[in-house]
Amino acid sequence: MGLVEWAKSPWGEDIPIHISFFLIWVAAIAGLLFLVGHAIWVRYFAKAEVFEGVTPPDVAARIPQRVPRHSLAARLFHWIMAAAMLALLITAFLPKVGIQFPWVTYHWIAGLVLTASILFHIVHASFWLDFRSIWPDKADMEDASRRLKRALGQDAPPPRRFAKYPLENKMYHGVIVLAGLAAILTGVFMMFRVRTGILPRNPYLFGDMTWGLMYVLHGAAGIGLIALVMVHVYFAVRPEKLVITKSMIVGTLDREHYLEHHDPQRWAVDAASSSSERRMTA
């Protein structure tokens, strides 16, 4: 059972045509194993989080009761993208596991919604939000090393409080960017293979081998997204993370949560500018 399905071209050449769809189950099971493993780890083995130092009282006194976290535009983007992503996964994979329906039109329409939402996000995050907030920095690396050493029982100071996003969230974002962009770029070209009424149908745009590799990459990115979305939803509904999930609905975080987990020097919050986009980060 290979990872890729092959076919013979009219010229007798072996060409890849799809990712092997049994990998859907591999991704779903891997996602499930991660959830169960993580839940067991947190319940029985994880130690309480300890951070270096305390936030000085004069700094803490300036933090508002509700800390702005996501602007309305960022929240709308998130939920539109999430709806498109779920629609894409459902329309792509239900037919592959035996639930047949005319899925292709719904699929590319959801694909266009995802593409438009991601284009919006790139422009919004580049010019209105703090673009750097979601990419790992030097402090993240130093803190990751401190956390690793402490987990292994070695001597190291506790990590600092987080900036806006912990390293784990930044790494997740990086991986989903790669999988999402791979699915989008290949998906837009694949629209030339089907009748959409938007783009002229042109199956001869690329040769058989290029099309085949494109379908394989599209399917591989999509299958990766099954596990990535499972992990994301799992963290969103974990009891200790509900406060973060709620902030993606209402836009703000509790002051107590902010002071416990975030470093005002690394994620500056200004009570007076709660409504200002510029001060908020991605």
Residues that bind ligand HEM (CB under 6 A): 18, 85, 88-89, 92, 104, 107-108, 111-112, 114-115, 183-184, 187-188, 190-191, 193-194, 215, 218-219, 222, 225
Q: What are 45's two structure tokens?
A: 């083995």
- H-only helix segments in the chain: 23-40, 57-61, 72-93, 104-127, 138-151, 167-190, 208-237, 242-250, 255-261
- For the bound state, the minimum distance from the C-beta of residue 79 to ligand HEM, rounded and expressed in Å, comes to 15
- For the bound state, the minimum distance from the C-beta of residue 115 to ligand HEM, rounded and expressed in Å, comes to 5
CB closer to ligand HEM, 106 vs 131: 106
CB closer to ligand HEM, 73 vs 176: 176
CB closer to ligand HEM, 147 vs 193: 193
CB closer to ligand HEM, 31 vs 111: 111
Going by C-alpha positions, the residue among 113, 163, 144 that lies closest to residue 282 is: 163
3-class state of residue 104 by DSSP: helix
Q: Which amino acid type is present at position 106?
A: Y
- For the bound state, the minimum distance from the C-beta of residue 190 to ligand HEM, rounded and expressed in Å, comes to 4
- For the bound state, the minimum distance from the C-beta of residue 156 to ligand HEM, rounded and expressed in Å, comes to 39
CB closer to ligand HEM, 96 vs 150: 96
Measured at the CA of 185, the angle between CA 182 and CA 187, to 5 degrees, comes to 95
CB closer to ligand HEM, 191 vs 244: 191
Q: Which amino acid type is present at position 274?
A: S
- For the bound state, the minimum distance from the C-beta of residue 107 to ligand HEM, rounded and expressed in Å, comes to 5
Round to whole Å and give the CA distance between 232 and 222: 15
3-class state of residue 70 by DSSP: coil
- For the bound state, the minimum distance from the C-beta of residue 112 to ligand HEM, rounded and expressed in Å, comes to 5
Round to whole Å and give the CA distance between 76 and 80: 6
